Amino acid sequence: MSKYVDVIINGFKEKVPEKASISFLITHFKEGDTDLIVEHNGQFVYPQKYAGAAVSEGDRIEFINPNFGG
Amino acid sequence: MTNLSSEEYVRYNRQIILPEVGEEGQKKIRNARVFIAGVGGLGSVSAYYMAAAGVGYISIADRDRVNADNLNRQILHHSQDIGKPKTASALEKLRQLNPHCHIRAVQEDMREENIMELVGDSQLILDATDNAETRRLLNRASVSKHIPFVYGGINGLNGMVTTFIPGETACFECLFPHKAVEKTSVAVLGPVAGLTASVQSMEALKLILGMGGLLKNRLLYIQCSDMTFREINIRKNPDCNVCNTERRGMI
Ligand SMILES: [Zn+2]
């Protein structure tokens, strides 16, 4: 049985599978934009690293939609 | 550099008396060359401030004509300008504001074929476009010409600003390597554009004056819903296809 951990996503506590990747969370929480700003414990995550970045208990994740209007 | 005229002393007095500006700084501003990419919501404000500060050479480019639904935020354009090319409308207002600035207005779409020429010999790029694709072109021009690119973007009640400096900071494509899916007509309130473009204008003047304290590798995220300003720390992406010279060499 897979274990779950508590993480904070955009300020809300969420239960997610242990070692879930950022890619998984993006799909799971339907953050649809191809361009997205992701912060993992205050650190910017490059899009190329989404698949490899795993979350653990207590991590803080922020998904921010970039602003491209002018 | 020629001394400031008595007219210039009067006109720019309130900034000349700032220790960070002074006479020397005002001369730097007078000799400065800035490219403003777009004269919509952001460009209206940054173009006004560049002209008001006395930036000697201002280049503007835009492909659009003034629409009635631009007027809630694009304060360079007035009701009687509806239907006019935006650059013509902008040129008229900027000349009225400050006849001493040399302004080059090009009513053209910014494309891969003309971007280098449009940016020309400008010393910095002020981003005021409304889409990610044009920002990618501006970013490439910034990296290849080795000039700063002050990114600004707005959406709804939010705005973002950062200053990309080639060789020193991340670039636009370090952050956004994918082709963006463009949204049509973003919602926006005028002051969000004003706030964002004012921060960009401040960055531009600091660059011209050679001041420190820039938004280097700091993405300022402005949320007007609760009036919070926060910073996202960014870094150069080692896998970036645009600013990583080693990788660029391989392509
Ligand atoms: Zn880059």
Average pLDDT over residues B157-178: 95
Name the pLDDT band for A30 (thresholds 50, 70, 90). Answer: confident
- Residues of chain A in contact with residue B234, where contact means CB-CB under 8 angstroms, are 44
* Total domain count, chain B: 1
> What range does the domain containing A23 cover?
4-64
Domain-located, residue B2: no
Domain-located, residue B90: yes
Amino acid of residue A8: I
> What range does the domain containing B218 cover?
32-250
DSSP class of A54: B
Instruction: Say how many C-beta atoms besides its own lie within 10 A of residue B131's C-beta.
Output: 17
Q: How far is A43 from chain B (nearest CA, A)?
A: 7
CATH classification at residue A24: 3.10.20.30
Instruction: Compute the CA torsion angle B106, B111, B112, B117 (nearest 10 deg).
Output: 0
Q: Is A64 on the interface with B (CB under 8 A)?
A: yes
Q: Residue B43: closest CA among chain A residues belongs to which residue?
A: A70
Q: Say what the ipTM of the complex is.
A: 0.88
Give the HSE-up count for residue B164: Cα atoms under 13 Å, Cβ half-sphere.
Answer: 32
Give the HSE-up count for residue B102: Cα atoms under 13 Å, Cβ half-sphere.
Answer: 9
Chain B residue set in contact with A, beta carbons under 8 Å: 38, 40-43, 127-132, 135, 152-155, 158-160, 174-183, 186, 188, 193, 219, 221, 232-235, 237, 239
Alpha-carbon distances of B199 from A21, A38, B152, B165, B192, rounded to whole Å: 35, 23, 9, 16, 11
Domain-located, residue A47: yes
Average pLDDT over residues A18-27: 92
Instruction: Compute the CA torsion angle B179, B184, B186, B190 (nearest 10 deg).
Output: 110
User: For residue B1, what pLDDT is reported?
Assistant: 79
Q: Is residue B181's pLDDT more than 80? A: no
**Structure-token pair, residue A22:** 């950022």
Domain-located, residue A69: no
Residues 6 or more apart from B18 whose CB is under 8 A from it? B25
Q: Is residue B245's pLDDT more than 90? A: no
Domain-located, residue B64: yes
User: For residue B186, what pLDDT is reported?
Assistant: 86
Amino acid of residue B215: L
Q: Which residue has the higher pLDDT, A30 or B171?
A: B171
pLDDT tens across A54-63, in order? 999 999 999 9
Domain-located, residue B9: no
Average pLDDT over residues B164-183: 88
Q: Is residue B72's pLDDT more than 60? A: yes
Domain-located, residue A56: yes
Q: Is residue A32's pLDDT more than 90? A: no
Q: What is the C-alpha separation between A36 and A26, in angstroms, rounded? A: 9
User: For residue B185, what pLDDT is reported?
Assistant: 78
Domain-located, residue B13: no
Give percent of chain B with pLDDT exceeding 90. 91
* Total domain count, chain A: 1
Domain-located, residue B22: no
Q: Which residue has the higher pLDDT, B126 or A27?
A: B126
Q: Is residue A35's pLDDT more than 90? A: no
User: For residue B178, what pLDDT is reported?
Assistant: 80
The CA B241 to ligand 1 mean position distance, Å, reads 7
Q: What is the C-alpha separation between B163 and B227, in angstroms, rounded? A: 21
Mutate to test the interface with A, among B234, B236, B241 (most CBs of A within 10 A): B234
Q: In sequence order, which ranges of B154-235 are alpha helices (DSSP H)? A: 172-175, 190-209
Average pLDDT over residues B57-61: 98
Rounded to the nearest integer, the mean pLDDT of chain B is: 95
Give the HSE-up count for residue B144: Cα atoms under 13 Å, Cβ half-sphere.
Answer: 16
Name the pLDDT band for A1 (thresholds 50, 70, 90). Answer: low
Q: What is the C-alpha separation between A43 and A50, in angstroms, rounded? A: 13
- Helices B190-209 and B22-31 pack at an angle, to 10 degrees, of 110
pTM here? 0.94
Domain-located, residue B77: yes
User: For residue B183, what pLDDT is reported?
Assistant: 67
Domain-located, residue B204: yes
Q: Is residue B251's pLDDT more than 50? A: no
CATH classification at residue B224: 3.40.50.720
